[in-house]
Amino acid sequence: MNNRGSGLLIPIFCLPSRFGIGDLGLEAYRFADLLSKNNQHYWQILPLNPTEIKHGNSPYHSCSAFAGNFILISPELLYRDGLLKKNELDEYLLPEKAIIDFARVYPLKHSLLEKVCAVFLELERWQEEYEDFCQKHSFWLDDYVLFEVLREQYSDILWNKWPVGLRDRNENSLLEIRKKFCSELERQKIIQFLFFRQWEQFTGYCAAKNIKIIGDIPIYVTYQSSDVWAHQELFKLDKNKSQLCQAGVPPDYFSSTGQLWGNPIYKWSAHKKEDFSWWKRRITHNLTMFDLVRIDHFRGLVSYWEIPTKEKTAVKGSWDSGGGEKFFQMLKDEFPDLPFIAEDLGVITKDVVGIINQLGIPGMRVLQFAFGKDFPKSIHLPHNHISNCVVFTGTHDNNTIRGWWKNELKLGQKRAIKRYTDKEVNISNIHWELIRLAQSSVAKLAIIPVQDILGLESEARINTPATFCGNWQWRLTSKQLLKLEEDALPILKALSHTYGRINF
């Protein structure tokens, strides 16, 4: 972020494809081409970790902080690499819909990969590359595949209810599982190899196009995950390995009862004792995948909201200290370029602001938050922006701009927007007026959700925090992609040129 820049926000799973969900195939490459052609050199995505229907398909609720999501593997690229035949590829086609039908996508991709893994084992040309991958990623891969096989064997019973030898990771018990289920473990490793191979090829293509990928690290991991099972000492658990408390945030803009996430809380004293080894590996892993990383809920690294496990909302919690100065010193020592973006939204106190300023990493400014009760003093208003920040019209947690205007704004807020822009703003032009504000900001980087440059309404919202159903389903259709190419992106390109965001 040495120069002013501009980019788009769209998760990989939201892209068009012929297989029911966006993936790492041809449409991802086409989208990268469109970004490059229109001088948009940043592409922000969401976490790529495994998701599940029973957890609402949220990329922030995963069984692994390291593994890749198998449903994002491209069948087209598997066919290109000789792992599928043409007639087999055609068996997995799904009609294009505006939302993802996860109930069809998961079993189809699972069936496809079962077939691919059998072919893979017979091809000698892959073996050296595969063995190198397994060796390089062994620090998380071995635990992850064991965990996945055990989850399947115990029908997703929580890991602390498994036989004691497996729960406590007795070496003899684990050795017995490795011998008994060696073929299943191998299959899980192959799937991860195929995901990371496709991801590495894709990011190499983006780099050649001068496109930087902005990844996302969820601050917390999930209790039913290989991360907690393999590193029990790093989390606040009782003698039976159950959670002592849970994560969330107090009442905020999104919810009057706060957000109860339910994740286990880090035992920061144990992380300090091991010199933050797990965090170093996690961040290093992400920085091999992405050019920049947005740290979700950054304030939780400074101080976090801890909620008793018995509570059903996040209201009755308390603040406690996070990693402290030693953690942030580790960041500076291990990652001196500090290629991070701090998600600093919500309840942000002076100590959090102080750490962000001390590190010199950019925070976030969201124009949808700019016209509330603190207008015209809001830090989210462009005249209050600083250079070292990233401005968004909205995030993946917000409504679309047109949906926000139509369904959420009060009359006084609409008047404030009209005064601020000195325009006769209405639902037909509000998205472009806010995009212009973002592009004209002194913020070094402006990121626009794809839904906003297309002028889509609430049906295109990706996520509504503190709700479970109907999230993470929106998809960009082929027709919308064509509109993006022919109409919307050229307008954005002109705005980026006008406001000095084309410096590559």
β-bridge pairing 318-321 and 259-260 = unpaired
Q: What are phi and psi of 121, to 5 degrees?
A: -65, -20
Helices (H) and strands (E) in the chain, counts: 21, 12
Q: Can you tell me the distance from the alpha carbon of 10 to that of 450, in angstroms, rounded to the nearest whole number? A: 6
Q: 3-class SS at 437? A: helix
Helices 350-359/324-334 angle, 10° precision = 20
CB 47 within 8 A of CB 96: no
Per-residue tokens: 478:
């082929």
In this prediction, residue 469 carries a pLDDT of 87
Q: Which residues contact 418 (CB under 8 A, 6 or more apart)?
A: 424, 425
- Torsional class of 276: left (φ above 0), alpha (ψ -120 to 50), beta (otherwise): left
User: Across-strand partners of 454?
Assistant: none
The whole-angstrom separation of Cα 258 and Cα 297 is 14
Q: Cis (ω within 30 of 0) for the bond into 376?
A: yes
| Cα 294 → chain centroid | 9
What tens-digit pLDDT sequence spans the chain (504 residues)? 678 999 999 999 999 999 999 999 999 999 999 999 999 999 999 999 999 999 999 999 999 999 999 999 999 999 999 999 999 999 999 999 999 999 999 999 999 999 999 999 999 889 999 999 999 999 999 999 999 999 999 987 999 999 999 999 999 999 999 999 999 999 999 999 999 999 999 999 999 999 999 999 999 999 999 999 999 999 999 999 999 999 999 887 778 888 899 999 999 999 999 999 999 999 999 999 999 999 999 999 999 999 999 999 999 999 999 999 999 999 999 999 999 999 999 878 899 999 999 999 999 999 999 999 999 999 999 999 999 999 999 999 999 999 999 999 999 999 999 999 999 999 999 999 999 999 999 999 999 999 999 999 999 999 998 888 899 999 999 999 999 999 999 999 999 999 999 964
Q: Is the dihedral of CA 82, 85, 89, 91 positive or negative?
A: negative
How many CA within 13 A on the CB side of residue 276?
A: 19
Query: Rounded distance, CA 255 to CA 347, Å?
Result: 13
Judge contact between 306 and 320, C-beta under 8 A.
yes
Please state, in angstroms and rounded to a whole number, the distance separating the CA atoms of residues 328 and 340.
12
Neighbouring CB atoms inside 10 A of 308's CB total: 12
CA distance 166 to 161: 9
Residue with tokens 């703003």: 425
Query: Catalytic site residues?
Result: 296, 343, 397
- Taking every pair of Cα atoms in the chain, the longest distance, rounded to a whole number of angstroms, is 72
CB atoms within 10 A of CB 344: 22
What is the C-alpha separation between 476 and 98, in angstroms, rounded? 7
Cis peptide before 95 (omega within 30 of 0): no
Task: Give the whole-angstrom CA distance, residue 242 versus residue 446.
Answer: 42
**Residue tagged 């942030």 (tokens):** 328
Contact at 8 Å (CB) between 119 and 83? yes
Rounded distance, CA 187 to CA 226, Å? 17
The pLDDT of residue 1:
66
SS (H, E, C) 428-443: CCHHHHHHHHHHHCCC
Q: What count of other Cβ atoms lies within 10 Å of the Cβ of residue 259?
A: 21
CB 367 within 8 A of CB 393: yes
What is the DSSP pairing of strand 445-449 with strand 5-9? Answer: parallel
Residue 281: count other Cβ atoms within 10 Å of its Cβ.
Answer: 14
What's the pTM value of the predicted model, to 2 decimals? 0.96
- CA distances to 176, 192, 226 from 150, in Å: 12, 17, 10
Q: How many CB atoms are located within 10 Å of the residue 437 CB?
A: 21
Spell out where 180-331 has E strands.
212-217, 245-249, 259-260, 292-295, 303-308, 318-321
Give CA–CA dist 108/319, Å, rounded. Answer: 44
User: How far separated are the first and last CA of the chain, in Å rounded?
Assistant: 11
Report the amino acid identity of residue 122. E
User: For the chain, what are the domain ranges?
Assistant: 231-361
Answer yes or no: are the C-beta atoms of 258 and 313 closer than 8 Å: yes
Q: What is the 3-state secondary structure (H, E, C) of 52-79?
A: CHHHCCCCCCCCCCCCCCHHHCCHHHHH
